[in-house]
Amino acid sequence: WQLAAAALAVGYLLGSIPFGMIFTRLFGAGDLRKIGSGNIGATNVLRTGRKGLAAATLLCDALKGTLAVLLAAPFGLLPALAAALGAFLGHLFPVWLKFRGGKGVATFLGCLIGLEPLAALAFAVVWLAVAFTTRYSSLAALAAAAAAPVVLFLLGAPATAWLFILLALLLWQRHHENISRLMSGKESRIGGK
């Protein structure tokens, strides 16, 4: 339990690094809070028109989750799951941004990469399929997050699946404004104006 608590704390610190905010400030791409959805994630960084910064945000927001899991994994499954939970909560509630963080999509994927690469692959396939057909980043994330626990159960990883049910619920909750916009047809599309 002590190891799990340590993993949770280290995961939180890693997860709380707001790469989207850092990159856009560092490279003069504007204030993310005043652009598009106001979110700190890669989708909103893309709305600044800086594709490279968006890609870097996606990569780093994912890899901080992967790194947290991989650092804890040698100590067992429980510390690894605690690290994933910590990283995800760190991204959603970073102390540095007065706990107003992101929606967790990239970090969710990064944690999956560290814990169950096949489930991460399934997440990516669902995300890409929905994103390519609808061009809604949010809808793609909602579908992929819902699919992940199912795939984890199918892969015989029930403990991980239960954790990802919790993470998916938090991710869905974080997308409540996107869900309202999707239902009223007002959600912005990738590549849209």
CA distance 32 to 36: 8
Q: In degrees rounded to 5, what are phi and psi of residue 154?
A: -65, -30
CA distance 36 to 58: 17
Check residue 18 for interaction with ligand G3P (CB under 6 A): no
Q: Considering the complex, what minimum distance in angstroms separates the CB of residue 92 from ligand G3P?
A: 11
Q: Output 111 or 141, the one with its CB closest to ligand G3P.
A: 141
Residues 124-163 that bind ligand G3P (CB under 6 A): 137-138, 141
∠ at Cα 31 (139, 10), nearest 5°? Answer: 70
Say which amino acid occupies 42: A
Residues 64-93 that bind ligand G3P (CB under 6 A): none
Q: Considering the complex, what minimum distance in angstroms separates the CB of residue 62 from ligand G3P?
A: 11
State the CB neighbour count (10 A cutoff) for residue 89. Answer: 21
Interface with ligand G3P (CB under 6 A), residue from 16, 24, 43, 66: 43
Classify residue 158 as exposed, middle or buried by CB count within 10 Å of its CB (0-12, 13-18, 19+). Answer: exposed
∠ at Cα 12 (7, 18), nearest 5°? Answer: 145
Interface with ligand G3P (CB under 6 A), residue from 21, 63, 103, 115: 103
Check residue 57 for interaction with ligand G3P (CB under 6 A): no
Check residue 41 for interaction with ligand G3P (CB under 6 A): yes
Could you list the residues that contact ligand G3P (CB under 6 A)?
36-37, 39, 41, 43-44, 103, 105, 137-138, 141, 178
